[in-house]
Structure 1
Amino acid sequence: MKASIVLISLLFTILPNLSSGQSIHTLNPEMIPIQNLLNENFEAKQQVGKSNEIFIQQIGVQNTIASNITSTSAAVNLNQNGNHNIIGINITSKSYRSNIDQKGDYNNIFENIYAPSSNISLNLSQNGRNNHFERYGSNSIGDKLEFNMNGNDKSIIVRNFK
């Protein structure tokens, strides 16, 4: 968790420098201790075997991702290709695996799950315009489903309760 916070802080420090035309090699010397800390945390994660990783790719304008994941192990891939897409994730689980692809404009995904002892997964693809997906709760059936939304103006709401 601490490594994730440090990594996010590092990204917010590096990204403005990169966008202004500077290279990573011209960063402040103050960044060196943070890089050393990240290397130490990376080595520790490899030894333990559990990690929390989130990969985000956004192409387009005004794409938004709000992610709050509390988990001992998470592997998340979020891809947005289009404009005005939204992903909102609020998860508490034992483990969380997710592959989410949004292609098109004005697509929305909201996930709200509190299941601290469960292994949660989501594979979701939205292709089109103005598609809406919501998922609440967790159970053994709903956690294994894959969703493909193709077309325009489609909605799926999944309520999983034990």
Structure 2
Amino acid sequence: IRVPVSSIKRLGFSDPDWEPFAEDGIGSTGVYALAFSKIVDQEVYFSVLIPHNWKLGTDLHPHVHWSPSDTDTGSVTWKIEYTIADLGGVFGNTSEESVSDVGDGVVNKHQVADLTNIDMSSYTDPDDIAIKLLCRLYRDVSDGDDYNNDAFLLEIDFHYQVDAIGSREEYTK
């Protein structure tokens, strides 16, 4: 399940900025990425609908694709806060998963940080295929984060197990 940065929402406060990421070396406009500050926690919001080919009851494996903005080798702490509900269900209290990932010391290197798995073991009913997650991703600069510059967010994705091409009916596995 891919969540491109172009589809995430910023609320106008605690937002990362779109900053220059790379250009052609002779003055082009270049490409931009979301830069999460070292100074203050910054956050983005998104939602995910679990695909119908997901194997009921199996964990989701969230990952943050990111790049260091300089040669620092400190750790960046990424956290995801989320709530889950199946179709007709009620969104409950949020849960949180985190990861601390070390910058490799190479500017703009594509890195991936594996967050803690999201436990989906309570979703085993064949009617549990229209599951929605509402999420907040943020850089927690006060929880072991010692990378001393901006961290560029490239994408968020979730790996998951499959057991079918899709569902047999519109809302039933």
Q: Which has the higher strand share?
A: 1
Does TM, normalized by the shorter one, top 0.5? no
TM-score bracket, shorter-length normalisation: under 0.3
TM-score (norm 1): 0.23
Structure-2-length-normalised TM-score: 0.22
